[in-house]
Amino acid sequence: MTVSMESHQVFQGAGKVETSLCLDDWILGLHQALLILLILGKWLLPLGGGVTRDELSQLLLIFVGTAADILEFSTETLSDVKENSPELVYIILGVWSWSMLQFPPHLAVVAPDESVDPANDSLVYRRSTDMWNIMESLIIQDGPFLVVRLLVLIYYQHLHLMLLFFTAKNFLVVILNVYRLAVICFDYRNKYSNRNDIF
């Protein structure tokens, strides 16, 4: 009898905790749990595709920073527009879902295997890791985040310091990635033209 009374009290306590948490807390908790499970799953799964343990540790550190940025994007931006625009909520959740596509592949740390084709001197082959990092940032994360935040700032006219800071951060990352891409292409072109001059 005492056991059933104790279990009843435990369930009542759990019910109070459940009802005291609002829907936003549950959504935030589920986002956090999903991102943590993705990182832990990547860590615990067998290595594949020629990824070494050192590369995997680099990838996991990148994922932790990426997950923090994605979590901030969804929670901070959603809190700005939730009551005012259901359409923008769908856009934000769509961009959030799109940004999650960077977790399954592990191309950000995999360098080309020099033994496969040493004669292949193409830019994409030699700098595939750098190119992937740049494209991932521009197309999957910082580019879409910047567009949504500018939409919130300009069209929906929500203005506060954190939104301005993260918009500026995304803008800076996009500009730096475009600059880095230009530097990589320029250096490759110079190297290729110098080699042709020698021959």
Alpha carbons 3 and 38: distance in angstroms, whole number: 38
Answer whether 148's CB lies under 8 Å from 92's CB. Answer: yes
* Residue 123 buriedness (CB in 10 A; 0-12 / 13-18 / 19+): middle
pLDDT of residue 165: 92
Question: Which residue bears the tokens 């500009």?
Answer: 175
Answer whether 55's CB lies under 8 Å from 109's CB. Answer: yes
Instruction: Provide Rg for the chain, Cα atoms.
Output: 23
For the chain, the domains span 23-198
Residues of the chain under the 50 pLDDT cut: 1, 14, 17, 113-116, 199
pTM of the predicted structure, to 2 decimals = 0.72
Alpha carbons 179 and 85: distance in angstroms, whole number: 35
Question: Which residue bears the tokens 């923008």?
Answer: 88
Decide: helix, strand or coil at residue 174.
Answer: helix
pLDDT of residue 117: 54
Answer whether 193's CB lies under 8 Å from 185's CB. Answer: no
Alpha carbons 185 and 179: distance in angstroms, whole number: 10
List Cα–Cα distances, 148 to 4, 82, 187, in angstroms.
Answer: 52, 14, 33
